[in-house]
Amino acid sequence: MTVDPVILVTGASGFIGQRLCAAISQRGWVFDAVSRRSNVAGARNVHRTLDSARNDLAGVDVVVHLAGLAHGAVSTAAWESVLLTNVQETALTYAKAADADVRLFIQLSSIRVLGDSTTCPWPTDAPLAPSDAYAESKAQSETELSMLAQGLGTQLAIVRPPIVHGPGVRANFLRLLRYAQKGWPLPLLCATAQGSWLALDNLVDFLMHICALDVLDSSIWHVRDVEETSLAEMLGLLRELMGQPNRLWPVNARLALGLGRTLGSASTVDRLFLPQRIDVCGTHGGLDWQPPLSQRDAVKETVNWFRTQQ
């Protein structure tokens, strides 16, 4: 273990970045941030641009690279812009970190680089099979970083989370919260395939755990909550915590999958009704790390936050 690493967090104003910076500050570690905000509590330096941060890496031990276009932004952006932000800027940041003798570069990727569904848990060496532009950009970024890492001295850690849930969440999980709150009948009782989710605080704990390690024995890490929970179970839990009736009704999964393919929405329907499982044996055993927060407790915290936003 190293003692009190000095960390640079890019994307510090985002959903994950804000929570990570707060945890680092609470731990008492020195950190710099790249943020759209002029102030990040506890930060030694706040850079408004990646260029500024890349030119000020002296003494930094670890870069946690969270900056980039998220799924929603990718869907409306030109592909050239997506490549510039999610691939080229990431590769340049890693190369600059290596030039500055940064010990470890952590890149937040996505489990969706491996596809939308799998019956057998995905190992870290599963072939890349992205199904949309966002996943493709993350897959290309992984490939570029892995090639660079072969010739540079800075350790590379690619972290592949599934859907992350927690206070401040946006996108798909926020939609689930809204559907749960409204109490509408939903045709998802048969969406019982095992799925992987990740609590925000579990992800933050994992990132901080690897920040403090001298050497990592792998460059790719899978992480999820201990529990594998189907979509039907997650919606049921959300409605239970919100005091809403379950109101899920059955639609045959095979019929739904066939209809999705007919309508050109196969990827969306696959994610609803097919399993998405992640092999985390290497993470738990190789790093001696376990998610500290139960999924139920984490979801309850998210529900409490969601209620304050109404």
> Where are the chain's structural domains?
7-170+196-226+278-293
pLDDT of residue 279: 95
The answer to whether the CB of 122 falls within 8 A of the CB of 222 is yes
pLDDT of residue 191: 83
pLDDT of residue 263: 46
Widest distance between CA atoms in the chain: 58
Whole-angstrom distance, CA of residue 97 vs CA of residue 152: 10
Whole-angstrom distance, CA of residue 212 vs CA of residue 90: 22
Cα dist from 298 to 21, 141, 201, whole Å: 19, 30, 8
pLDDT of residue 104: 97
Whole-angstrom distance, CA of residue 239 vs CA of residue 48: 40
Q: For every one of its 310 residues, what pLDDT tens digit does the chain have, with 9 covering 90 and above?
A: 556 899 999 999 999 999 999 999 999 999 999 998 888 999 999 999 999 999 999 999 999 999 999 888 887 889 999 999 999 999 999 999 999 999 999 999 999 999 988 889 999 999 999 989 999 999 999 999 999 999 898 999 999 999 999 999 998 899 899 999 998 888 888 888 899 999 999 999 999 999 999 889 889 999 999 999 999 999 999 999 999 999 887 776 666 555 445 545 455 656 677 889 999 998 988 898 999 999 999 999 999 999 999 7
Q: What is the pTM of this model?
A: 0.93
The answer to whether the CB of 159 falls within 8 A of the CB of 206 is yes
Written out in words, the top-level CATH class of the domain with range 7-170+196-226+278-293 is alpha beta
